[in-house]
Amino acid sequence: MLGPVHEDAERCLQAVRSKDARFDGWFFTAVTTTRIYCRPSCPVTPPKAENMRFYASAAAAQQAGFRACKRCRPDASPGSPLWNHRADAVAKAMRLIADGVVDREGVPGLAARLGYSVRQVERQLLAELGAGPLALARAQRAQTARLLIETTSLPMAEVALAAGFASVRAFNETVREVFALSPTDLRTRRRAVPDTPGVLSLRLPFRAPLCPDNLFGHLAATAVPGVEEWRDGAYRRTLRLPRGHAVVSLSPRPDHVACRLALSDLRDLPIAIARCRRMLDLDADPEAVDERLRADPELRPLVDKDPGRRVPGTVDADEFAVRAVLGQQVSTAAARTHAGRVVAVAGTPIADHGLTHLFPTAEQLAELDPAVLAMPRARKTAFAALVDALASGRLDLGVGADWAKARADLSALPGFGPWTVETIAMRALGDPDAFVPGDLGVRIAARNLGMPDTPGALIRRAQAWRPWRAYAVQHLWATGDHAVNRLPS
Q: What is the mean pLDDT of residues 328-339?
A: 91
Predicted confidence (pLDDT) at residue 193 exceeds the cutoff of 60: no
Give the active site residue among 283, 285, 290, 439: 439
Q: What is the pLDDT of residue 475?
A: 96
Separation CA 270–CA 144 (nearest Å)? 6
Predicted confidence (pLDDT) at residue 140 exceeds the cutoff of 50: yes
Per-residue pLDDT tens for 406-438?
999 999 999 999 999 999 999 999 999 999 999
Global confidence as pTM:
0.91
Residues in Cβ contact with 177 at an 8 Å cutoff, skipping those fewer than 6 apart = 62, 67
* E strands, 10-97, in order: 28-31, 36-38, 52-55, 67-68
Per-residue pLDDT tens for 128-139?
989 999 999 999
Predicted confidence (pLDDT) at residue 2 exceeds the cutoff of 60: no
Q: What is the mean pLDDT of residues 333-352?
A: 93
List, in sequence order, the alpha helices (H) in 42-117: 58-63, 82-85, 89-98, 101-114
Separation CA 65–CA 407 (nearest Å)? 43
- Taking each helix axis from N to C terminus, what angle separates 156-163 and 133-151, rounded to the nearest 10 degrees? 140
Q: What is the pLDDT of residue 191?
A: 61
Options 3.30.420.40, 1.10.8.50, 3.40.10.10, 2.40.40.20; CATH of 5-76: 3.40.10.10
Q: What is the mean pLDDT of the chain?
A: 92
Q: Where are the domains of the chain?
A: 5-76, 282-485
Per-residue pLDDT tens for 359-413?
999 999 999 988 888 899 999 999 999 999 999 999 999 999 999 999 999 999 9
Separation CA 14–CA 290 (nearest Å)? 21
Letter for the amino acid at 418? P
What does the buried/exposed string (b/e) look like for 9-39 if buried means 16 or more CB atoms within 10 Å of the residue's CB? eebbbebbeebebbbbbbbbbbbeeeebbbb
What does the buried/exposed string (b/e) look like for 355-388 if buried means 16 or more CB atoms within 10 Å of the residue's CB? bbbbbbbbebbeebeeeebebeeebeebbbbbbe
Q: Is 38 a catalytic residue?
A: yes
Q: What is the pLDDT of residue 81?
A: 83
Quickly state the pLDDT bin for 4 (edges 50, 70, 90). Answer: low
- Whether the upstream peptide bond of residue 209 has omega within 30° of 0, thus cis, is yes
Separation CA 8–CA 31 (nearest Å)? 17
* Cβ proximity of 400 and 357 under 8 Å: no
Assign domain 282-485 to its CATH superfamily: Hypothetical protein; domain 2 (1.10.340.30)
Q: What is the pLDDT of residue 194?
A: 53
Q: What is the mean pLDDT of residues 144-157?
A: 88
Q: Is 439 a catalytic residue?
A: yes
Q: What is the pLDDT of residue 366?
A: 95
Predicted confidence (pLDDT) at residue 1 exceeds the cutoff of 50: no
Give the active site residue among 12, 38, 211, 276: 38
